[in-house]
Structure 1
Amino acid sequence: MSNMKNIRFYITPPHPCSYLDDRAARMVFIDPVRDLDLSTLSELSRQGFRRSGDFIYKPECHHCRQCLSSRIPAEEFQPDSSQRRAINRNKDLRMAIRSTRHATDIHYRLYARYIIERHADGDMFPPTREQFEKFLVTGGANSFFIEFWLNDRLMVVATCDPLDDGISAVYTFYDPDENKRSLGTFAIMQQIEWARANRLPYVYLGYWVPQSEKMRYKSNFLPIEVLLDGRWQRISRPMTVTEMDILVKRLSRDESIQDYKRLR
């Protein structure tokens, strides 16, 4: 049974936004508690919260609501041609599943390479073993890696949290030298397949930020559901430039958002 009634919520002071330049952000977070029960973590995910290490949080910015929680309905997802190519390029990889608590030096070295070569301008640079442990290894009670190997070479790791209605895609890291393989896309596709195989309806992808270039890839996975005004609403086709502009304007003005039924 969920322990939502016993959770205490806090809010941070304004700080620079990680997604949009020249914006301030605030986060609502719960007491840093390890080993939340499955039901509570699942309910928090449905309400738009996200786990990062020991912290469960969601953005709460009064003048900007662009951080939209997103999830993929696994059974109804239809890959496009580029996503099918990503699958075909990686047919030579072998999948393995392991608890994050069984992470090794091999996992850390791949993570460190990925951060250094792909995210040297981010807040996780420079990578450290302590950071890796707190962020991905010890934060989730039952978190696991979906990992792919080329013979004895680790290529990609998708860190996942189990939920009662799916999995949460916590963080993915991969070999930064393998540009032609589209390993980021491949990892999401494999998380969708894992959810399907385990008869779980959703893959929670975290926040889709319409004006953020680095978050835009999430809208390539269709259909996708986003949490708008407390309701999960489905987008089943790519948005036009005009539709995107309208959405961004409404999110930025703190107005009520209309139901996007025409995108279904």
Structure 2
Amino acid sequence: MTEHFPSKIGLSQQFSCSYLPEQQEQLLVILDPSCYTPARFEGLLELGFRRSGDQIYRPHCPKCSACQSMRIPAKRFIASKSQKRKFKKAINDFSVTVSHKERDEYYPLYEKYISLRHSDGSMYPPNRLQYESFLFCHWLPITFLELWHESKLIAVAVTDTMPNSLSAIYTFFDPDYEQYSLGNVMIMVQIDHATKLDKDFVYLGYQIDSCKKMRYKSQFLPSQRFVNDVWIDQVS
């Protein structure tokens, strides 16, 4: 690791965890302005940090360590037979495009996704301010990997771009196409995009084994988890 732990760090108040409601969540928040560049942020990703909007943070919960950063070594990824089948079907039926600017179609798709797929979560009901403050960032280049069914936008993977890696921020898709497993497909689209750009890693955020909604990430192998401040290979 090339990045040192920043000296200017804040600690948030405790609040109820949105993934494990019985737990209290607390965050370390980066306060040093010099950290807010793609290269410095990439070093912080290696230390288990992540971004939400313009803010860089890492869980620092008083009684829980369930959140483990997860990344895919893009050039070593081997899709399972099921993943290959889903990816091939989606690529045959739809088209992938890359955009570096937000489109008007994004927010209606996001709103539909949250309303129909996550009406029991902390992001419901959706609104534009929440959407913008969560997904977008003023100091980092963002790539939007899109999936289109002819002229209809059906999925967007919001992806941060750093010198040697990509970071998957959030994917939203049309629930009418749920049978295509678009959440999993868009992770493979990000991994494929990373290999084309010769990036080393795709960061997938935090894996929480005890949270059912998060378990899908563990299906992508080989992967690495950040456990006790060390990246550990996961092959099964």
How does the TM-score come out when normalised to structure 2?
Answer: 0.93
Paired with 1:168 and 1:192, the residues of 2 have a C-alpha distance of: 10
Aligned pair 1:43/2:43, yes or no? Answer: yes
How does the TM-score come out when normalised to structure 1?
Answer: 0.83
CA separation of 1:7 and 1:148: change in aligned 2, threshold 3 A: farther
Q: Is the 8 A contact 1:4 1:40 kept in 2?
A: no
Of 134-143 and 223-232, the range deviating more from structure 2: 134-143
Equivalent position of 1:250 in the other structure: none
Structure 1 residue runs of 5 or longer lacking an equivalent are 238-264
Aligned pair 1:31/2:34, yes or no? Answer: no
| CA deviation vs aligned residue, 1:49-83 (integer Å, no higher than 9, x gap) | 11111221111123211100000111111111221
Equivalent position of 1:257 in the other structure: none
**What amino acid is the match of 2:214?**
M
Q: Is the 8 A contact 2:74 2:202 kept in 1?
A: yes
Q: Is the 8 A contact 2:9 2:32 kept in 1?
A: no
**What amino acid is the match of 1:122?**
G
Alignment of structure 1 residues 211-222 onto 2, 5 Å: 211-222=210-221
Q: Structure 1 residue 124: deviation in Å?
A: 1.2
Paired with 1:152 and 1:165, the residues of 2 have a C-alpha distance of: 33
| CA deviation vs aligned residue, 1:94-145 (integer Å, no higher than 9, x gap) | 111112xx32321110000001001111111111112222222345521110
Q: Is the 8 A contact 2:6 2:32 kept in 1?
A: no
Equivalent position of 2:82 in the other structure: 82
| Aligned positions, number | 234
Q: Structure 1 residue 35: deviation in Å?
A: 9.2
Paired with 2:86 and 2:223, the residues of 1 have a C-alpha distance of: 19
**What amino acid is the match of 1:95?**
V
Report the 3-state secondary structure (helix = DSSP H, G, I; strand = E; otherwise coil) of the residue aligned with 1:123: coil
Q: Structure 1 residue 22: deviation in Å?
A: 0.9
Paired with 2:32 and 2:18, the residues of 1 have a C-alpha distance of: 21
CA separation of 1:27 and 1:114: change in aligned 2, threshold 3 A: same
Q: Structure 1 residue 5: deviation in Å?
A: 7.8
Q: Structure 1 residue 33: deviation in Å?
A: 5.9
Equivalent position of 1:95 in the other structure: 96
Alignment of structure 1 residues 9-158 onto 2, 5 Å: 9-31=9-31, 36-90=36-90, 91-99=92-100, 102-139=101-138, 141-158=140-157
Paired with 1:214 and 1:139, the residues of 2 have a C-alpha distance of: 29
Q: Is the 8 A contact 1:32 1:56 kept in 2?
A: no
Q: Percent identity?
A: 36
Paired with 2:89 and 2:168, the residues of 1 have a C-alpha distance of: 22
CA separation of 1:14 and 1:179: change in aligned 2, threshold 3 A: same
Aligned pair 1:185/2:184, yes or no? Answer: yes
Of 12-21 and 188-197, the range deviating more from structure 2: 12-21
Q: CA RMSD in A?
A: 2.0
CA separation of 1:203 and 1:223: change in aligned 2, threshold 3 A: same
| CA deviation vs aligned residue, 1:21-50 (integer Å, no higher than 9, x gap) | 311111111239699211111011110011
Paired with 1:63 and 1:138, the residues of 2 have a C-alpha distance of: 31
